[in-house]
Amino acid sequence: MDNSWLQKNTFYHSQFSNLEHLVLEKRRKGLSISLCLPTLNEEKTIAKEIIIMKSELMTRFPLLDEIIVVDSGSTDRTLEIAAEYGADVYTASDILPDLKDFKGKGENLWKALYVTRGDIIVYLDADIKNVHHRFVYALVAPLLLYDHIRYSKAFYDRPISVGDQRLRPTGGGRVTELVIRPLFSLFFPELTQIIQPLSGEYAGFRSVFEKIPFPIGYGIETSMILDISAKWGLDAIAQVDLDRRIHRNQSTKALGKMAFVIMQTFLKRLVTRGQITLQDELFNEMIQYSLKDNEYCPEIHQIGGHERPPMIEIPAYRKKFQRS
């Protein structure tokens, strides 16, 4: 397999440490940049993320034009804290209220397209314990500096050697290595060059995000890679090593539900592209088991696999952003 994309489109965050240059490029190109933090009960980490991004990337180096939080219905103080520290705060259900309401990370990201104003949008998970402003500027940099790059994605940790260069790609988490990488290897081997396809940090041009559908849940990262590479080509994607990321780990059962949704999204894309044909509709329930009183009891989770259409198809969005 040709690994040329890995060599050309993989970057390390220190390559982009000249923030003054990035600000100049942003101004030269007349671009605006929005940061979106999708949240659900993130009171322990949200303040630190907002403080760092505001102080470093709005006050010290005016790279960001706004920071918004789109929340799924937190029951802790996430929204109160985010507002106190200067973010623009929204509850997902209040955005485009005429549409049927769904819950999920992908729903928050999709609705952020309506309330942000930036030409470039950065999506950053809100549970990062070792957050640093490189998580934003290093993802924005390839979009500002390379005209052919339209979407950039994060990866982190454990160094390996690739060719003559010393890079720091790593294997992804458990779901990546057990689910996504095998599926990519079977159907899209060129996409295996993306080190951490499920990373929750990425940036792209509005003109890209508004033209692709958004699964409402955990399938969003997988669908973005598949849809963007299909529509604009793999060369429009970059990946950036952010060094190290610390966040809370999930249980094996929680990861099982995540894997179910990701596989559901992946198979739907294969069907849409005509690469496979299913004789029956996919079953939409994830069945797990737990041991209670020496008996195995099923735990059934209904997972509908709903997707939002490309935002550009929504009349209210077209009117707001003057899309013909």
Return d(Cα 64, Cα 35) in angstroms, integer. 7
Residues 56 and 69: beta-carbon distance below 8 Å: no
Q: What is the pLDDT of residues 206-227, one digit of tens each?
A: 999 999 999 998 899 999 999 9
Return d(Cα 282, Cα 156) in angstroms, integer. 34
pLDDT on residue 292: 87
Amino acid found at 283: F
Return d(Cα 147, Cα 213) in angstroms, integer. 24
Band of residue 248 on the pLDDT scale cut at 50, 70, 90: low
pLDDT on residue 253: 87
pLDDT on residue 172: 54
Which of the two residues, 279 and 144, has the higher pLDDT score?
144
* Mean pLDDT on 5-28: 97
Return d(Cα 314, Cα 309) in angstroms, integer. 8
Average pLDDT, the chain: 92
Element (H, E) at 301: strand 295-302
Q: Which of 26, 246, 19, 4 is nearest to 138 (CA)?
A: 19
* Mean pLDDT on 278-294: 87
pLDDT on residue 130: 87
Which SS3 state, helix, strand or coil, does residue 238 take? strand
Half-sphere exposure of 203 (CA within 13 A, CB side): 26
Is the pLDDT confidence value at 205 over 80?
Answer: yes
Token pair for residue 293?
């009183």
Q: How many residues does the chain have?
A: 324
Q: What is the pLDDT of residues 48-87, one digit of tens each?
A: 999 999 999 999 999 999 999 999 999 999 999 999 999 9
Question: If one looks up domain 4-247+308-320 in CATH, what number appears?
Answer: 3.90.550.10
Whole-prediction pTM: 0.91
Neighbours of 70 (CB within 10 A): 27
Which of the two residues, 171 and 276, has the higher pLDDT score?
276
Displacement of CA 227 from its chain's centroid (Å): 13
pLDDT on residue 263: 94
pLDDT on residue 159: 41
pLDDT on residue 24: 98
pLDDT on residue 250: 75
What does the domain layout of the chain look like in residue ranges? 4-247+308-320, 253-302
> Is residue 18 left, alpha or beta, with left meaning phi > 0 and alpha meaning psi from -120 to 50?
beta
Which of the two residues, 158 and 309, has the higher pLDDT score?
309
Return d(Cα 91, Cα 117) in angstroms, integer. 17
* Mean pLDDT on 288-311: 88
Amino acid found at 220: I
Band of residue 247 on the pLDDT scale cut at 50, 70, 90: low
* Mean pLDDT on 111-121: 98
Q: Which of 276, 270, 261 is nearest to 221 (CA)?
A: 261
Return d(Cα 287, Cα 307) in angstroms, integer. 22
Element (H, E) at 202: strand 202-205
Token pair for residue 270?
């294969």
